[in-house]
Amino acid sequence: MADTTPVTRDSLLRMKAEGEKIAVVTSYDASFTALLEAAGVDVLLVGDSLGMVVQGHDSTLPVTLEQMIYHSACVARASTRALRVVDLPFMTYASTEQALDSAARMLREGGAHMVKLEGGALLCATVEALTQRGIPVCGHLGLTPQSVHQFGGYRLQGRDEAAARQLLDDAIALEQAGASLLVLECVPAALAKQISESLGVPVIGIGAGIDCDGQVLVLYDLLGITPGKRPRFSHNFLESGRDIPAALRAYVEAVRTGRFPGPEHTLA
């Protein structure tokens, strides 16, 4: 019988401590959420990636707070076990006061359990303010899509020694400010391993190698239905599966057993 015990922040801390990999997938609606829950996914990430895979934009920047609340509420209605982490979209947490208002709406109206913010030490005061008021926070470092224009595109981050040191320092600072979870996107595998081993909170990788505490994929990449070029770090689990439920179960099993990501999915 499948475990129906709700996943919490403490559950994820225990999984990290026991070396049990955490399976995370993005979800944007009730129907896919029900399938992801049945497959045993631990964390549902309602990502502003919906701006690209659902709305058809070329970045996440046009997504609004109201749209994220709408999709989060859709996911919440079908979710009974997984922890729900929801992105605060671009420029909805530019100040601590704005972040508090945006996050409160996401929990109250969107049914989120935790909000995700992109950025490093500059956000520590905001993270501290949120957590002190009972709002759990997930950080996001490396390739942060809301900063795509500053980065000049979707590129691997933390390549040189100074950039790697900054990412490690930012990760530690976010944890000290109260972050409960951290996503690392498109960073060298060795750096991701160092950061994962340096933090007490779970680190979830995407394009960051096998040594993170868990993995996340965009649902549409996982199923091979994202238009255009598929990211190198993704894998089409539907390609060899019988149907969508089987593909989702295969992903969870591959993460749990350490078979995903493989060397072919690792950027550095």
Distance CA 192, CA 167 (A): 9
Number of other CB atoms surrounding residue 219 within 10 Å? 27
Residue with tokens 């795509």: 148
Distance CA 79, CA 35 (A): 10
Task: Identify whether 185 is a catalytic site residue.
Answer: yes
Amino acid identity, position 111 = G
Is residue 224 a contact partner of residue 238, using CB atoms and an 8 Å limit?
Answer: yes
Tokens of 239: 């390609």
Between 124-132 and 96-108, two packed helices, what is the crossing angle to 10 degrees? Answer: 40
Residue with tokens 């701006």: 51
Give the start-end residues of each E strand in the chain: 22-26, 43-46, 83-87, 114-118, 137-142, 181-185, 203-206, 214-217
Annotated active-site residue in 185, 197, 239, 264 = 185
Distance CA 127, CA 119 (A): 10
Q: Which residues pair with 118 in a beta bridge?
A: 140
Residues assigned a catalytic role: 185
